Amino acid sequence: MLDLKWVLANLDTVSKRLASRHQPVDLSELKTLSLARNQQISQFEQLRALQNRTSKEIQPKQKVKEDISAILAEMKKVSQEIAGIEKNLAATEQALQAILLSIPNLPHESVPLGKSAEDNTVIRQWGEKPKFNFSPQAHWDLGEKLGILDFERGAKIAGARFTLYRNLGAKLERALINFMLDTHTQINGYEEVLPPFLVNRDSLMGTGQLPKFEADLFKTQEDLFLIPTAEVPVTNIFRDEILDANQLPTAMTAYTPCFRSEAGSHGKDVRGLIRQHQFNKVELVKFVRPENSYDELEKLTHDAESILQKLNLHYRVVCLCTADMGFSAAKTYDLEVWLPGQNGYREISSCSNFEDFQARRAKIRFKDADKKNKFVHTLNGSGLAVGRTLVAILENYQQPDGSVLIPDALQPYLNGVKVIGQPN
C-alpha cells in the first residue's frame, strides 16, 4: 500500500509511474475523498471544542442554579451532529482505504518501461543448452512412459490440473525439496520455517493478494484460504510487530504446497506440470532496512540461481518491464530455465522487492537509530518452484532410450540413484 500523504503530495508523479504499468488508476476520487475527510475532521474538531467550552461555562451556572435547559438542548443537537460526522468520517476513511488497497506498487526507476512481456530485458545467462542427437521429448511424455507422472489418475482424483507423482517421481520431488532447503539454510544463511498452509484475510491483505485477487484463491467455509505461496504466511510472521534494528536483515525459507485456482488461465499450459492448481515450492523471504533492499534483492536472486547452478541447468535472468510486474512488486527478476522438450524458456522463480508496500499494509516496522518507527522493506523469491525444477531435470537430462539421469547434486538425496530407469 502506498503512503496516502505522499501520494496526495505527488499526484502527477504517481499517475505517471502507474501509467507505465499500463494499469489505469483514477486518482481523482482519492483527492476528492481526502478533501472531504479533511473537512469532516475540521468540523468534528470545531464541534468538540464547542462542547468543551460549553461544558466549562455550564459548571458555574449550575452552582448558582441558573436555568441551563436551552444550553443542554443545544448541546444535544451538537452531540447528534458529532455522531453524524463520525459516521460519515468512518465511511470516508473506509472508501479511502479501499482505493489505496486497489492501487499497485510504483515501479522502481531502474525497471524497464514496457507494454508486455515482450519488453522484458535479459540481464544475464548461465550455462549452456544441452545438445541432443535425437528429438527431445516433453516432460509429460517422459513422465508417463517412465511411470513417475500419472496425469490421468490425478485428474480422476481431483480434476484437471492435478497430478499424481509415483515411485521415483514422488521421491525426486521430495529430494528436490530437501536439497533446496539444505542449500538455503546451510549455505545461503536462511532460517527454515514451516508455516500454516491456511491463512486468514488479514494475512492475504498484508501481502497484496486481497482484495483484488480473491478469484485466484481457494477459500474454505471458515473464511480461511489455502496459501497461493509461502510468501503469504512467512511475510505475515511479523505482521503488526516492531522489530529491533539488529534483527535486520532477517532471511527465512519455507517449503509449502501452494494452491491457485488459475482464474483466467483456461487454455494455457493444459498439459504437464507447468500450471497446476496444487504444486510444491521452496520460498525465500527477507525483511531488510530500506537503504539495503536493492542490494538484498541481488543477493536473494543469486541465492535462487545457486539451485539451478548446482543442478547444472541452463537459465537466464530477466528483469520484468513495468507492464509485466506483479501487483505488489517495485522490481522483479524472473529466472527462466531452458526446457528442450518445449524448445523454450519457462519461469522457475520470480524474485521481487516490494519496498515498504507490503510492510505498510501489514504494519511491519523497525526502530531506527533515532528510536523512530519505520517500515521495513520486504522481498521474496522462489527458491525454487519444485515441480518446474523436476520438469527441467526430466527434459534436460533425458537420454536417447527415454531414461533420465539424476544430477550429481541430487544423487545423495535419492540414496545414490543415478538414473530413472528404462521407459515402459
Q: Is residue 339 helix, strand or coil?
A: strand
**pLDDT for position 71:** 87
Q: Is residue 279 pLDDT above 80, yes or no?
A: yes
Nearest CA among 320, 305, 313, 304 for reference residue 340: 313
Q: Is residue 208 pLDDT above 60, yes or no?
A: yes
Residues 137 and 41 occupy one common structural domain: no
What would the grid cell of residue 411 be?
544423487
DSSP string covering 107-176: PPTTSPP-SSGGG-EEEEEES-----SS-PPPHHHHHHHTTSEEHHHHHHHH-TT--EE-THHHHHHHHH
**35-47 residue pLDDT tens:** 999 999 999 999 9
Q: Looking at the domain assignment, is residue 112 inside a domain? A: no
Name the active-site residue from 350, 355, 360, 395: 350
> Mean pLDDT over residues 299-314, rounded?
98
Q: Is residue 312 pLDDT above 70, yes or no?
A: yes
**pLDDT for position 66:** 82
Whole-number Å distance between alpha carbons of 97 and 143: 48
Residues 129 and 90 occupy one common structural domain: no
Average pLDDT over the chain reads: 95
> Mean pLDDT over residues 196-222, rounded?
96
**pLDDT for position 265:** 61
Q: Is 316 a catalytic residue?
A: no
**3-35 residue pLDDT tens:** 999 999 999 999 999 999 998 788 999 999 999
Residues 179 and 64 occupy one common structural domain: no
Q: Is 124 a catalytic residue?
A: no
Q: Is 260 a catalytic residue?
A: yes
Name the active-site residue from 17, 173, 388, 395: 388
Residues 85 and 214 occupy one common structural domain: no
Confidence band for 194, pLDDT divided at 50, 70 and 90: very high
**218-235 residue pLDDT tens:** 999 999 999 999 999 999
**pLDDT for position 322:** 98
**pLDDT for position 364:** 98
Side-chain-side CA neighbours of 336 within 13 Å: the count stands at: 20
Q: Looking at the domain assignment, is residue 399 inside a domain? A: yes
> Mean pLDDT over residues 79-95, rounded?
95
Phi, psi for 41 (deg, rounded to 5): -65, -40
Q: Which of 77, 102, 127 is the last residue of a domain?
A: 102
Residues 92 and 18 occupy one common structural domain: yes
**384-393 residue pLDDT tens:** 999 999 999 9
Domain of 315, CATH number, reads 3.30.930.10
Q: Is residue 130 pLDDT above 50, yes or no?
A: yes
Name the active-site residue from 17, 21, 161, 260: 260
Q: Which of 45, 72, 102 is the last residue of a domain?
A: 102
Q: Looking at the domain assignment, is residue 228 inside a domain? A: yes
Side-chain-side CA neighbours of 173 within 13 Å: the count stands at: 22
Name the active-site residue from 81, 201, 347, 403: 347
Q: Looking at the domain assignment, is residue 108 inside a domain? A: no
Q: Looking at the domain assignment, is residue 110 inside a domain? A: no
Question: Is 309 within 8 Å of 126 (Cβ atoms)?
Answer: yes
Whole-number Å distance between alpha carbons of 375 and 366: 6
Q: Which of 78, 102, 126 is the last residue of a domain?
A: 102
> What's the total number of domains in the chain?
2
Residues 54 and 138 occupy one common structural domain: no
**pLDDT for position 56:** 87
Name the active-site residue from 239, 275, 289, 316: 275
**pLDDT for position 263:** 64
Residues 305 and 392 occupy one common structural domain: yes
Q: Looking at the domain assignment, is residue 133 inside a domain? A: yes
Confidence band for 267, pLDDT divided at 50, 70 and 90: low
Residues 76 and 170 occupy one common structural domain: no
**pLDDT for position 264:** 60
Q: Is 55 a catalytic residue?
A: no
Q: Is residue 424 pLDDT above 50, yes or no?
A: no
Q: Is 275 a catalytic residue?
A: yes
Name the residue range of residue 412's domain.
117-420
Residues 132 and 187 occupy one common structural domain: yes
Domain of 15, CATH number, reads 1.10.287.40
Q: Is residue 270 pLDDT above 80, yes or no?
A: no
